[in-house]
């Protein structure tokens, strides 16, 4: 249950209110490489992405948008920085939302033109405030004075200033985002935003890092906020293949019970001195076999009889290591005891039937 009162239509999606928290990601291809961008979006869609953002730094990128929009199944968001013309071109091309940091476009008239185009086309705007762009004063003393104040407060103040611009144009098809690279400030700033404004919130920890550290940082920040009812769409931003972002995002939402899982869940023991099988190899084979399965089944891969049969009882399928052999379970029932290779082959055959 979110605290947001307002709901916004983003193309075919509805965000805010009591609607499900949406999962989004961003491509890392050059958008003008149409083939590569479509291929990546298709992979991300299959992994559970519901809204996808693409960067449009050049006119070649915005020129590619119509072909991409036509080819893919999920709505497209254009990420605009600095040049308002890219925003106008993307809106014209048919994106459902643009991400705009008004602080990056100094000419107010240009911002007004973008707002007018969004109004005319029903395009939503995500207003971004990033910690990096927060203190703009050229006066050193003033800058220091500002920096002595909590960053979260400064970001919310800046968000208020941006919102005044949109308010004066009578535009409220807005989503708010305040991005920081640390979990603590992300929690603080989004709590303040949720208290002060009634618009949907996009949550994410920016530049979170490589998958292990970034996944934890994102899970901590987003987990706390979502549990408090704050946040209507999430992006877990991780360095590398964006496909990794989706599994973390879905894990966060399903762990909190905010979305139902649609894909298999694997339970794998960490192994210890009791394990006598190559558990990592077995788990990797199972993981590979589950790619493409779109059912919320549970598959357990366990190292020994200490916890194996217990997990197997609750899993749809399970394999449990013994002394150079394994036991395979289906629906909690033992269906085979075999050597490791034969046992894993039996389990993979069962996965094929899912």
Residues contributing to the site for ligand SF4 (CB under 6 A): 269-272, 274-275, 302-304, 306-308
Minimum CB distance to ligand SF4, residue 274 (Å): 4
Of the two residues 128 and 321, which places its CB atom closer to ligand SF4 in the complex?
321
Q: Going by DSSP bridges, is the β-strand pair 13-16/7-10 parallel, antiparallel, or unpaired?
A: antiparallel
CA geometry: angle 141, 145, 146, nearest 5 deg: 120
Is 230 in contact with 201 (CB distance < 8 Å)? Answer: yes
Is 115 in contact with 140 (CB distance < 8 Å)? Answer: no
The b/e string for 132-169 (b: 16+ C-beta within 10 A; e otherwise) is eebbeeeeeeeeeebeeeebbebbbbbbeebbeebeee
Of the two residues 201 and 269, which places its CB atom closer to ligand SF4 in the complex?
269
Of the two residues 14 and 307, which places its CB atom closer to ligand SF4 in the complex?
307
Is 163 in contact with 155 (CB distance < 8 Å)? Answer: no
Minimum CB distance to ligand SF4, residue 305 (Å): 7
Ranges assigned E (strand) in 193-256: 202-203, 233-234
Minimum CB distance to ligand SF4, residue 105 (Å): 55
> CA–CA separation, 72 vs 75, rounded Å?
8
Of the two residues 270 and 292, which places its CB atom closer to ligand SF4 in the complex?
270
Minimum CB distance to ligand SF4, residue 335 (Å): 20
Cα–Cα separations (whole angstroms), residue 201 to 174, 197, 241: 9, 9, 25
Of the two residues 185 and 285, which places its CB atom closer to ligand SF4 in the complex?
285
Of the two residues 188 and 311, which places its CB atom closer to ligand SF4 in the complex?
311
Minimum CB distance to ligand SF4, residue 270 (Å): 5
Minimum CB distance to ligand SF4, residue 211 (Å): 23
Minimum CB distance to ligand SF4, residue 240 (Å): 29
Of the two residues 223 and 322, which places its CB atom closer to ligand SF4 in the complex?
322
Tokens 């400030």 -> residue = 185
> CA–CA separation, 254 vs 260, rounded Å?
6
How many residues in the chain?
354
Query: Residue 346 is encoded by which pair of tokens?
Result: 């039996």
Adjacent-strand bridge partners of 234: 23, 203
Residue nearest to ligand SF4 (CB): 303
Minimum CB distance to ligand SF4, residue 308 (Å): 6
> CA–CA separation, 88 vs 79, rounded Å?
12
Adjacent-strand bridge partners of 51: 24
Of the two residues 79 and 311, which places its CB atom closer to ligand SF4 in the complex?
311
Chain-centre distance of CA 36, in angstroms?
A: 20
């Amino acid at each position: 249950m979110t605290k947001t009162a307002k709901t916004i239509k983003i193309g075919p999606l509805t965000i805010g209110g009591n609607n499900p928290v949406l999962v989004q990601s961003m491509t890392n291809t050059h958008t003008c490489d149409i083939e590569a961008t479509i291929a990546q979006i298709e992979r991300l869609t299959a992994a559970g992405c519901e809204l996808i953002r693409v960067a449009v730094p050049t006119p070649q990128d915005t020129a590619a948008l119509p072909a991409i929009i036509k080819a893919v199944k999920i709505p497209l968001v254009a990420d605009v920085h600095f040049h308002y013309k890219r925003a106008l071109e993307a809106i014209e091309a048919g994106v459902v939302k643009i991400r705009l940091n008004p602080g990056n476009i100094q000419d107010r008239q240009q911002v007004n033109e973008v707002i007018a185009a969004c109004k005319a086309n029903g395009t939503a705007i995500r207003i971004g405030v990033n910690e990096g762009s927060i203190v703009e004063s050229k006066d050193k003393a003033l800058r220091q004075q500002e920096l002595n104040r909590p960053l979260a407060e400064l970001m919310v103040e800046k968000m208020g200033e941006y919102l005044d611009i949109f308010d004066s144009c009578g535009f409220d098809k807005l989503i708010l985002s305040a991005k920081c690279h640390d979990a603590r400030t992300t929690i603080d700033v989004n709590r303040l935003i949720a208290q002060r404004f009634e618009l949907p919130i996009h949550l994410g920890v920016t530049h979170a890092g490589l998958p292990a550290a970034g996944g934890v940082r994102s899970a901590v920040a987003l987990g706390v906020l979502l549990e408090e009812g704050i946040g209507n769409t999430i992006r877990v931003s991780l360095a590398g293949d964006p496909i990794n972002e989706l599994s973390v995002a879905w894990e966060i939402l399903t762990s909190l019970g905010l979305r139902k899982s649609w894909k298999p869940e694997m339970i794998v023991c960490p192994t210890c001195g009791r394990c006598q099988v190559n558990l990592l190899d077995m788990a990797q084979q199972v993981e590979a076999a589950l790619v493409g399965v779109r059912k919320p089944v549970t598959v357990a891969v366990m190292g020994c009889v200490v916890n194996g049969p217990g997990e197997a009882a609750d899993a749809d399928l399970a394999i449990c290591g013994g002394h150079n052999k394994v036991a395979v379970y289906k629906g909690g029932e033992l269906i085979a005891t075999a050597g490791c290779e034969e046992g894993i082959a039996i389990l993979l055959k069962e996965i094929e039937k899912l």
